[in-house]
Each structure stands twice: as structure tokens, then as C-alpha cells.
Amino acid sequence: MSDRQITEIKGVGAKTAERLAALGLLKESDLLFHLPLRYEDRTQLTPLNALRAGVWAQVEGVIVHQSIRYARSRMLVATLADDTGQCLLRYFRFYPSQQRQLTEGARVRCFGEVRWTQQGFEMAHPQTQTVSDPSPSLPDHLTAVYPTTQGISQALIAKLIGQAVDRLVKGQLLLTEFLPSRGEAGVMDSLAEALVCVHRPGPHENIASLLEGNHPAIARLAREELLAHHLTVARQNHAREQQKAPVIQPKPVKGQSVVEQFIQGLGFEPTPAQKRVIDEITQDLGTHRPMRRLLQGDVGSGKTVVAGVALVMVAASGLQAAMIAPTELLAEQHHRTLKQWLTPLGIEVVWLTGKVTGKARASALERIANGSAVVVGTHALFQEPVVFKRLALAIIDEQHRFGVHQRLALANKGKREGELPHQLVMTATPIPRTLAMTAYAGLDVSVIDVLPPGRKPVKTVAMSQQRRDEVIDRLATVLREGRQAYWVCPLIEESEVLEAEAAETRSAELAKVLSDFKVALIHGRMKTKEKQAVMADFVAGKTHLLVATTVIEVGVDVPNASLMMIENAERLGLSQLHQLRGRVGRGSAQAACVLLYKPPLGEMATERLKVMRETTDGFVIAEKDLELRGPGEVLGTRQTGVMRFKIADLGRDAHWLEDMPTLAASLDEVAREGLIARWVGMAEAYIEV
Ligand code: ADP
Ligand code: MG
């Protein structure tokens, strides 16, 4: 028998199927590609007198005592005994069924983390299973622990995957081998063998290498996935070649080119790098072939001007263009900038984010439907009710904050019969070229590699937070000179609330000691209106010091701000520090960045701060980041929104890429289709990107 829909599996109802779909599990075979997060060793039982604190162990015995205790709350406590000793089982939350399971005399097998307390060894909330006497045999392989989702328990997903693996082993679930057998070292030849190894490694298997992904079984899977991805991109490119985008031919206004008028209005000359990219984009837009261009440029390199030119060209052709930013704050700033640039040219700019409601929203939607030229906003523009009259260009700023799917959603917005909008995506996160080719497969890449003239590199120092008073003196001096400054309090815990609180406390303190100046506060938990007002005041120079959480990280542009303080700098990654520092040094004054850290510094943190002191070059910093954190982290799908892989890791597996065209060429059409269906899904493969 072959593959089945997940709903055809016994015991999987509609609700469960829906939840499994959220994990990308639609077919029975998908279960096989849902890889473990980690493994537990349940191949042995630990005698109770051999327990050690801090170790995960599996134990088995008889319950000799059970009681409900009242400490801060009600808890269930049971004593487990075997021939060698005793151990306490503690449940801070419990169901009546657990109470029944742990009655005196019951025989149970428990797996959990061992703790040492004054009463002896105990396990809190161990996984518990009632067993018969004599007890059932132990598994002969390690037990996989899988990623789950709301409503899908570990037990359920493990059971479903276990059944699929059983069927694979018995030859009931057939997986076609599409790759030619090559007998290469370091790569398993058989797909089925690789899958069984990953789900049920023997007790002596090299688990670290399975988890890190350099195991021959993972190599087999990753390589196949990369191949499927390669095939998909080739297919999408082919599909795109069949599509047409509107040809952008700006009409002159008052006998003069609008682009020239736009540039004259800027008050500065575009850099050679900006001019080159503008030329590339102009060429792309001038043809029917839908543009898919990625613009990489370091913070402050002037990507917005380039975007502005593209918007103007489209508007002057009588068509629509949209520009999307990842945060309200940044969208608001673009709106301000673009209004200032475009209004004199007679181009209307519409503003739409999730926070625009009521009449304003209705009016924005109406103007978009009627064909208003330039629309600026956040991902609200992806949403259902937004209907464009004829969207010819979509620009996505700070693209690493968006997912591929969001980019596609916007493209689909503009899709009409046989027509796709052009796309420009911009990012300040430089990634090495080899990786960029796959991560941004299907995109042409432009780079702005020169900063606007007159910029002096930001001077960076690292100081212990014990010297905060000194830092505040320096801050006061800068403010007295009429300059502005940022004070960033980054995430102290994984909590926006705590982060906001820390920023609030700090801003109150600073307002007290810097009583001659106006100190303002901005954080992610404030209402959009408040944030906008705070930003507007800072831009206008009405406030002097802006205390902020990392919400200001992306794109904020206030040229008069020349000092950036970053607290807890030791906790931030290089690229984040670089982004934050990029907020200053945008004007002509010498800018400085103070990295405040809490000693003692770890080795990694020391190295990071050193890199920050030594260079301001985003590409150098990206390379360093890669070196320090490893490619997987740098490209982590969470951050970058690049192509998602189930198993492959672009950093780790980049060495396979070179081989892909040859491998692809060796396959017939059936194998190509099969691989795409297995790894990517047919629906997605046919989306025109
Ligand atoms: P980013 O690439 O980080 O988005 P921006 O587009 O925000 O950078 O530009 C940073 C600042 O530099 C802005 O104040 C912008 O007006 C200014 N700028 C851009 N290009 C030039 C240029 N060619 N000459 C002078 N200033 C420029
Ligand atoms: Mg920007």
C-alpha cells in the first residue's frame, strides 16, 4: 500500500488533522519527515539506589504511598519503591485519573528528571505509564521527542509517527527512491534506512551528530530536500518567464523626466552605487518580465531613495505601487519621507496599517481600490479586504522580517489575469553570496556598497555598566551641544512587558538626572498613536533623548542623533548591535556608540564587542557573525524569512549546492515531480514568485 491522507489514518479526526496540518503534516508520509527535537534513552531502567541528581532516568517500581499535600497549592505526592530504594513522585497539577493511576500497590514506569531534595530523590511530573508484572520489554532504540503544537500531545505525535515508521519498515508504506545510489561516504544510500535511523536510533548511535545534522542519515535527507528545492525554484522561474508584468514607462511632467525632478528635490546627489542600482531597477521595470530583485545595502546606505525612484516611476506611468515595512514605526517614517518627496510631484501617498481604523481605514481602502498611486504600510496590506486597482510594483523593506509567504501574498494581491506585479525586496542584513543564491533563489541581487559622502564611521567604545555615571556625563555634554541621543534597553528576559518596564524605569531615572533636557520613552507596548507622537517629537528635535527598547532597531532615521547607548550589549548578537548602531552616524557630526556591558564578560561576548569596536562594515560584521554563531543561526528561518527547510540547513549543507544542477539533470520528469511533491508540495511549487 502506498501513501495516504492523514485523515485516513485510524483515530485521526478532522480537528486533529487540522492541527497536524499546522505542523505541515498532510499525508502519512509527511510524518516520516517530521524529525525529532531530541532523544530520550528509555532502553534501560535505573535502579532507584543508582539515581543521580540532574539526570533524566527511567525507573520502575510499585507505589507504596500516596498523599495530597497542601503547600502553596494542592499537590499529589507518591512514593515509588523498587528492590533497591525509593523515590518521590511529585505533581503540582494533577487529574483525578493520575491520582487513580498512582494508587498504592500500582506498578508504574516513570521517565523524568531526577532532583535531590532533603527528603531524598524525586521526580516532578515524570511521564508515567502503568505496567503489568512481569513488566513489558524495553525499547531497543532511543525514544524520539518531536516538535508538537497546541492540541497535539507528544504521545499522539509519537504514536502516529511510530505507526508510519512501522509501515515503512514492513513495506506497507512505500517511498520511492528518486536519487541514484552513489555509495558516497558520509551519506546514507537508502532513504528508508535514513528515516528509520533518525526516528529509531540504536542506543549506541551517535546522537550528537544526529542532532547537529552531520550524521549520514541526515545528510541523505538534507541533500534530497535541497534537490527538491532546487527543482522547485527552477520550475517557479520557468513559470515566471511565462508571466507578464506591466511595462513601466514614466511620462514626463511639464516636459521633464519625473525621476530627474525627484532627484533634484532630494537636496543631495545619489551615490554612484545608488545610481547603479537605480539603473538596474529601471531596466527591470521597463520590460514585461516580472522584476524580482533583492537590494542589499548596509544600514544608512540610502535604500529608501532607490525605492522612492521606483515608486515615482510607477506613479508617473499611471499605475500603483506599494511599499511595506515590518513595523508601524518604520512604516510611519517611510510615509513621512515619501510624502515629503512625492507630494511636490503631485503624487498621492496613502497610508494603511492594522492600526488605521474606522473612517480613515474606509477612505484608505477606497483610494487604493480607485487606483491611488503610492500606498505605504505594514503587513496589513497583505490582508483580504485590501484590493488594488492595478498594482504594478511591490516594495518590501527589511525583507528579513517577513516570511517568503508574506512576500508571495503581496504578489498575489497584485495578480490579475496573466499579469504579476514587479517586486523589490530590500534588506540591510548582508549574507554571504553562496548562501544568498539559495536563500533568495530566484531573486536578482543588487548591492549598495558605498555610504553617502561625509559620513564618518561611528566611534564605538565598550564600557562596564559600573561606569554609567561617566556615560551620563558624556551624554549631557552631547545634548548640550544640541545633538540628540538614543538610550536602548534591550530585552532582559524573553518578555516584552519586562522590557517595557525596564525602559520605563531607565527613562524616569535619566529624566531626573538630565533635568535640563526632554527625555522621551518608546517601547513596543505603547499605542501606535503614542509611538508616532513620540517619534514625531524626536524627529522635530522637541525631545533630546529617546529611551527605547529594541523597537527602534530597524530603519529609524534621525540625522541629528549622534550618540547611541546600548545597555546589556553583551546579550545582543552582532547583527542586532550593528542595526542599532546604524541609527546614528546618519548626519555630518561625528557619532559615537557606547556599549554598556555587565561584567564579567564571556568569551563570545568579549569577541563580539571587540568586533563592534573594530569595524562598522556590515559585510565584515556579517562574516564575523557567521563565524561566531555558525551559519545555521545567522540564516535561522525565524529571523530571515528566507526559504524554509524541514531538514536542510543552508549554512551546514551549503557544500551540497554545487552538485544540484548535475543531480537535477540526471532525473527524469517523474522523479522531479515526485521529489517536489514529497518535500515542497505541489501547490506551492506552482506559485509564481
Ligand atoms: P537605509 O539604507 O538604512 O534604509 P536610508 O534610506 O534611511 O538608509 O538613508 C539614510 C539617510 O541617508 C537618510 O537620511 C537619507 O536621506 C540619507 N541619504 C541617502 N542617500 C544619500 C546621498 N546620496 N547623499 C546624502 N544623503 C543620503
Ligand atoms: Mg531603511
Cell of 614: 573594530
The yes-or-no answer to whether 270-448 and 459-615 have a common fold is yes
Counting DSSP H helices and E strands in the chain, the numbers are 26, 21
Counting atoms of ligand 1 from 1, which one is nearest the CA of 266? Answer: 16
Place of cell 541514484: 180
Q: What architecture is domain 270-448?
A: 3-Layer(aba) Sandwich (3.40)
Best mutation site among 557, 562, 580, 584 for ligand 1 pocket (most ligand atoms within 8 Å of CB): 557
pLDDT per residue over 350-387, tens digit each? 999 888 889 999 999 999 999 999 999 988 887 778 88
Q: With contact defined as beta carbons under 8 Å apart, do 524 and 496 qualify?
A: yes
387 three-state secondary structure: coil
Ligand nearest to the CA of 561: 1
Specify the residue with its C-alpha closest to ligand 1, atom 25. 452
pLDDT per residue over 4-19, tens digit each? 888 889 889 999 999 8
pLDDT per residue over 318-360, tens digit each? 999 999 998 887 888 899 999 999 999 999 999 998 888 899 9
Say what the alpha-carbon torsion angle 640, 643, 644, 648 is, to the nearest 10 degrees.
-110
Residues 6+ positions from 365 with CB-CB distance below 8 Å? 352, 385, 386, 387
Global pTM? 0.66
Q: Is the pLDDT of residue 631 over 60?
A: no
Residue ranges per domain, the chain? 6-40+144-212, 48-138, 270-448, 459-615
Counting atoms of ligand 1 from 1, which one is nearest the CA of 299? Answer: 3
Transcribe 122-151 into DSSP letters. EEES-EEEE--SSPPPPPSSPEEE---BTT
Q: Please give the backbone phi and psi of residue 128, each rounded to the nearest 5 degrees, phi first.
A: -125, 140
284 three-state secondary structure: helix
User: If you classify domain 459-615 with CATH, what class do you get?
Assistant: alpha beta
Best mutation site among 560, 586, 588, 619 for ligand 1 pocket (most ligand atoms within 8 Å of CB): 586
pLDDT per residue over 508-540, tens digit each? 999 999 999 999 999 878 887 888 889 889 989
* d(CA 325, ligand 2 centre) in Å: 9
49 secondary structure, DSSP code: G
Paired with 441 in beta bridges are: none
CATH for the 48-138 domain, from 3.30.70.1230, 3.40.50.1980, 2.40.50.140, 1.20.1420.30 = 2.40.50.140
Strand (E) or helix (H) holding 403: none
Best mutation site among 294, 305, 429, 446 for ligand 1 pocket (most ligand atoms within 8 Å of CB): 305
Q: With contact defined as beta carbons under 8 Å apart, do 580 and 553 qualify?
A: yes
Best mutation site among 262, 263, 264, 268 for ligand 1 pocket (most ligand atoms within 8 Å of CB): 268
Choose among 118, 121, 126, 128: nearest CA to 53: 121
pLDDT per residue over 184-223, tens digit each? 888 999 999 999 999 999 988 898 898 888 899 999 999 9
Distance of CA 91 to the CA centre of its chain: 35
Counting atoms of ligand 1 from 1, which one is nearest the CA of 307? Answer: 6
Ligand nearest to the CA of 450: 1
Ligand 1: residues whose CB is within 6 Å?
Answer: 268-271, 274, 297, 299-305, 428, 452, 555, 557, 559, 586
Counting atoms of ligand 1 from 1, which one is nearest the CA of 271? Answer: 23
Say which range, 484-488, 495-499, 568-572, 655-659, has the weakest mean pLDDT: 495-499
Ligand nearest to the CA of 266: 1
Q: Please give the backbone phi and psi of residue 88, each rounded to the nearest 5 degrees, phi first.
A: -90, 140
